Structure 1
Amino acid sequence: MTFDNDDCDCGTGIDRRGFLRGCGAVFAMAAAATPTAAEGGPTPGDLSALLDGLPTNWGRWGEDDERGALNFLGSAEAFDGMQAAVSGGRKRIERFTLQLSVTGEAAQDPLFVGRFPARKDNTLDARFDGVEGSPIPLPGGLKYADDAFATRLFLQGTTHMDALGHAWYGEHLYNGYPQASTATPTTYDDPVTGLRDADFDGDLETYDTTTTYGLGQADVTAAAGAGVAGRGVLLDVGRQFGDEDGRLAPDFGIGLDELRATAEAQGVEVQEHDIVLVRTGSVERARDPDAEYDPLTEPGLVYSEELVRWFHELETPVVGADNVAIERAAQVVDGELYFAPLHGALLRNLGITLLEILDLSALGAACAADGIYEFLFTGAPLNVPGGSGAPVNPVVLKATDEKA
């Protein structure tokens, strides 16, 4: 299979901020498929046919498994990660968190297209001190602040982990679970009013959330319960193939050759069961007020049979990146157009957990400074039953040649 990186400009040219008017994510992605086949562009492909014959991990850990490739992470992998972290001694360990801050600013948060920024507001603070009916101060004089999100908080709107049931093709999710299980109802005794965009037009309406729907199988609770701990490796493709700021050009496709070349240049070996993080520079571009940024043209991994088999042979449990989708949103393979084909190959078929919108800027700079690209990676998503994904704040402990 080949990826025609130069044959299709699949971006819309619409600035990310323009999507805040509320177009739905599905329609935003569909708008990216330009030019159309009628205009001489690529024809839509068949993901089932594209991935037919490639390896899967269905049934590998039993017919009821919902953890997928996280099953590869055990005591030995945690030990390897800890060894990497302490290799410089007790005074040469750096700590990094990889979660992007939730600012609420449309111009800063690289949210998925069509999703509004999450904004919090105080429900209690100093303004309420002594106000009649206010719960502050408490008996004895203690005062406190409290807050809540004032807008909808998308579980996959900032740094997050995908559940294995998040994306699929055909009629089955990871491990053969039926697609109908993604609409599993939960009924509550106590009514709560919610907000939704039923018509994908940006107009929110209230509704009764007495009954809600979520993933009945392969939801994010499997990863939340298992956690992630192991040897992580950063492949800083942005520094290897990018501009002077270490950012890949829009639409840049990262294939297996680029990953291998980056690892060789860094002097690091990607081993079995490693947690693989790929830096593209997209987070820096998204938060740079002077840079042009469109999430539909973000650089990222691109599909090939060789890449899929590489991850399979390495028994990779987790792949993460500093962009919205790990891979390029729109890809042309052998003249046919696909959206996020690696979500089908990696998430659905191999059960590889995907971490998206990681902040790899500080970690990347530290690795480049001391030449150490391996570390202990730990993290777990919020435990949200039925969730198709959830926010996560990974913590990395990395050896360095400088005293901390």
Structure 2
Amino acid sequence: MADIDAAEFRTLYARCRHAAAAAGPLGSALDRIVPDRVVAAAAEVRTGTTVSLAAPVETAPGPDNPEPAGHRMTGTVAGEIDESGLQFARDRFAMNVHGDADSHLDALCHVIYNGTLFGGADAGMVKPEGAQTLSVALARDGIVGRGVLLDIPRLRGVPWLEPGEQVTAEELAAAEAAQGVRVGTGDLLFVRVGHRRRRAERGAWDAAAARAGLHPYAMDFVAERRVAVLGGDGNNDVAPSTTEDVAFPIHVLAVHAMGIHLLDYLQFEDLVPVCEQQRRWSFLCVVAPLRFSGATGSPVNPIAVM
């Protein structure tokens, strides 16, 4: 697929930004999840089945995870346990939130483009002590709405997309038709490329250098449908980038141009068989990031409720 030059990308960026502005006041796309849509999303629950969309947190280094999460016990472990009385096991956890292995949410302060944040906010508001604006605190009350999964390997008849392959807007529409579902305003859109299945069957690789993702023009579909959140089982961006001078065009278009929170490195391998069994690809989805003011993102464990 042909590369996108700098001029083409500027045009696409302007179109996405205009689409976001035309949808209403230039606030976070989360504003599209109004109470009535949450109530409607609750009607998606039919069997009470719950499925995690997060991958297990990994503490061992690997080709795609050179800085894994740190976990250590801080007290009352084997050798310290009394035979009587009360004690507590304790531990400590630390994570590089924006790595290439663990499931996480990107806050709107995560993407700095041409010296600014989303909506033209001053990037200088991202200070050493934390972001003073557009942090993950915007989602402090959780993200609850109608989730829709579009399975691109299923559409193509393959187990996964190979690193470097891109998902087009036309494929997103074709997946809708094939799965009998339609993405609408305020939905949480999840796009499966099969990253997790490939990793499980072939082993980890340097996903920072090579991964499947969305083609930048697929964001026209996202803008048209006015989604609230975009998530993928990879980084959402393809690597290597095919856009001149922009390594992460999907991040720029989604977060910076349209105010859409991204969910990166989710896993859909548990959800797909449930969707196939129930013959539907929409569900109630609950995402609860940590309440951490000033953070540029958060580990998350999104839950699909079928």
Instruction: Give the TM-score normalised by structure 2.
Output: 0.89
Change (3 A) 1:50 1:61: closer
Letter in 2 for 1:339: A
User: How many Å apart are 1:332 and its aligned residue?
Assistant: 2.2
Q: Is the 8 A contact 1:48 1:169 kept in 2?
A: no
Distance across 1 between alignment mates of 2:125 and 2:6: 25
- Equivalences for residues 232-243 of structure 1 within 5 A: 232-241=147-156, 243=158
Equivalent in the alignment of 2:251: 343
User: How many Å apart are 1:105 and its aligned residue?
Assistant: 2.3
Distance across 2 between alignment mates of 1:62 and 1:50: 21
User: How many Å apart are 1:51 and its aligned residue?
Assistant: 3.8
User: How many Å apart are 1:294 and its aligned residue?
Assistant: 3.2
Change (3 A) 1:59 1:384: farther
Aligned to 1:122, what secondary structure does the other structure show? Answer: strand
Change (3 A) 1:365 1:106: farther
Match of 1:123 among 74, 96, 116: 74
Query: Number of residue pairs matched?
Result: 300
Find out whether 1:331 has 2:241 as its counterpart.
yes
Equivalent in the alignment of 1:394: 302
User: How many Å apart are 1:103 and its aligned residue?
Assistant: 2.8
Find out whether 1:161 has 2:105 as its counterpart.
yes
Find out whether 1:219 has 2:135 as its counterpart.
yes
Distance across 2 between alignment mates of 1:366 and 1:337: 41
Change (3 A) 1:361 1:370: same
Aligned to 1:247, what secondary structure does the other structure show? Answer: coil
Q: Is the 8 A contact 1:58 1:176 kept in 2?
A: no
Equivalent in the alignment of 1:193: none
- Equivalences for residues 150-189 of structure 1 within 5 A: 152-157=94-99, 158-182=102-126, 184=127
Distance across 2 between alignment mates of 1:270 and 1:60: 16
Change (3 A) 1:145 1:358: same
Equivalent in the alignment of 2:92: 148
User: How many Å apart are 1:216 and its aligned residue?
Assistant: 1.4
Question: Percent identity at matched positions?
Answer: 27
- Equivalences for residues 301-320 of structure 1 within 5 A: 301-304=214-217, 307-320=218-231
Distance across 2 between alignment mates of 1:318 and 1:93: 23
User: How many Å apart are 1:284 and its aligned residue?
Assistant: 2.1
Q: Is the 8 A contact 1:319 1:354 kept in 2?
A: yes
Equivalent in the alignment of 1:99: 54
Letter in 2 for 1:98: L
Distance across 2 between alignment mates of 1:382 and 1:59: 31
User: How many Å apart are 1:382 and its aligned residue?
Assistant: 1.0
User: How many Å apart are 1:313 and its aligned residue?
Assistant: 2.6
User: How many Å apart are 1:327 and its aligned residue?
Assistant: 1.9
Change (3 A) 1:179 1:327: same
Distance across 1 between alignment mates of 2:160 and 2:285: 23
Equivalent in the alignment of 2:14: 53
Distance across 2 between alignment mates of 1:162 and 1:381: 10
Moved over 4 A (4+): 58-63
Instruction: Give the TM-score normalised by structure 1.
Output: 0.68
Aligned to 2:29, what secondary structure does the other structure show? Answer: helix
Equivalent in the alignment of 2:176: 263
CA RMSD of aligned residues (A): 2.5
Q: Is the 8 A contact 1:274 1:316 kept in 2?
A: yes
Structure 1 unpaired stretches of 5+: 6-41, 87-91, 131-136, 185-211, 399-404
User: How many Å apart are 1:98 and its aligned residue?
Assistant: 1.4
Aligned to 2:150, what secondary structure does the other structure show? Answer: strand
